[in-house]
Amino acid sequence: MAEKKSHPIFLNFLIEGGWLTPEQAAGHRRTFLSTESWIGRLMVNHGLIGMEHVNEILNRQDLYGGFFGENAVEMGLVTRQQLETLLAAQELRRDIELIEELALASVLDFDDGLTALTQFYGQRTAQPAGRKRKPQPV
């Protein structure tokens, strides 16, 4: 799975759900991403890699291209499952940052934004009837 540079899907959900008008949303299509949600920072924060690995990954990225996370997997520093988990967490963080941005601009009430976020992720994780969630290893 490729790392994302921006995440307009939740913003579209807010518009389609009537939480925001297209006009309200127009000025809030994020043009920057917080360094707090960079995949490398998440890996370091969770102790999956050390700072010395960041430069190794960036050097490999310069040589071979690709995304930071994919290079970390190729180097054996993180597993594919760890990367997928971090990418999902990164997406959630960016959606929360969007709610913060909208609330601080008085465009969306923060609690309403959290309610919308819960609905959004509830729809995305709903399982079809008869299908059970895969148990996670302990």
pLDDT digits (tens, 9 = 90+) for 46-79: 999 999 999 999 999 999 999 999 999 999 999 9
Separation CA 49–CA 52 (nearest Å): 8
**Angle (CA) 72 70 67, round 5°:** 110
Tens digits of residue pLDDT in 79-92: 999 999 999 999 99
Entry pTM: 0.74
Q: Which residue's entry shows tokens 């994780």?
A: 125
pLDDT of residue 4: 40
